[in-house]
Amino acid sequence: MRDGIPIGLGYFAVSFSLGIAARAAGLTVFQGFLASLLNNSSSGEYAAFTLIANHATYLELALMTITANSRYFMMSCALSQKCAPGLPLRHRLLLGFDITDELFGITLARPGSLDPYYTYGAVVTAAPCWAIGTAVGVVTGSLMPLRLVSAFSVALYGMFIAVVIPAAKQNQVVAGVVTASFVASFLADKLVPLATVSAGARIILLTLAVSAVAAMLFPCTQEEELQYA
């Protein structure tokens, strides 16, 4: 719960802008709150609210949300490798419900097998802030200057960097991979073939490419495998 507090504060600030989008789509305060409670993804919710505003069908809404959130499939695969073999299905389902970038980062950073109750503690602190922030955004977000809303959004990215930096400082290989990922992401956003692909698909392609190259060039030692097994 302690580790979830800064994540929740970042979520609360960022979800103001989601509340504005929800209001523009015609959602009530409760509907915006419920949408964020059940879908903890800014890109997925932005896409959903945009489609709702344009009176899209349920099928179109489902397909777009799955596409925008497709990177979470890879995060789920990574977390499944940290689960103890005997972890019950109910825990796996609950863990799979709320895999956000930040919660994934702090969970994966912990050594040893995944402790579901650690993640639950972070979730019950952070997830309500995401939903409440959206509801508040529906009510008051439209009264805030757009520049101020954008400034609030920067806090979440700063917090996510704070999750990555400690691991990069401890391991030069991780630091190199993180740097290469930043550069590759920037170039992919500018190059015409990849720039036309959705952001979620680009993340998946870059993650596969960078992690595959890193695994071939810098395979884990036996001690590292035992440490993170």
- Of 182, 173, 175, 184, the closest CA to residue 209 belongs to 184
Which amino acid is residue 196, in one-letter code? T
Which pLDDT belongs to residue 160? 64
Q: How far apart are CA 12 and CA 130, in angstroms?
A: 5
| Token pair listed for 213 | 């190259």
Q: How far apart are CA 189 and CA 1, in angstroms?
A: 35
Summarize the chain as % helix, strand, coil (round to 5): 80, 0, 20
Which pLDDT belongs to residue 132? 93
Q: How far apart are CA 21 and CA 7, in angstroms?
A: 21
What's the DSSP call for residue 26? T
Find all residues with CB under 8 Å of 6, minimum gap 6, and list them: 159, 162
Find all residues with CB under 8 Å of 72, minimum gap 6, and list them: 41, 99
Chunk the chain into consecutive blocks of 10 residues (it has 229) and report each block's average pLDDT, rounded to whole numbers.
Answer: 89 83 88 91 82 85 80 86 89 89 87 90 93 89 67 62 77 88 88 76 80 85 57
Burial class (CB in 10 A: 0-12, 13-18, 19+), 58: exposed
User: Using alpha carbons only, how large is the chain's radius of gyration in Å?
Assistant: 18
Which pLDDT belongs to residue 85? 85
Which pLDDT belongs to residue 207? 79
Neighbour tally for 194: CB within 10 Å: 16
| Token pair listed for 37 | 């409670």
Token pair 């960078």: residue: 210
Which pLDDT belongs to residue 110? 85
Q: Strand, coil or helix: what is 55?
A: coil
- Of 62, 121, 108, 52, the closest CA to residue 228 belongs to 108
Handedness of CA 204, 106, 168, 174 (dihedral sign): negative
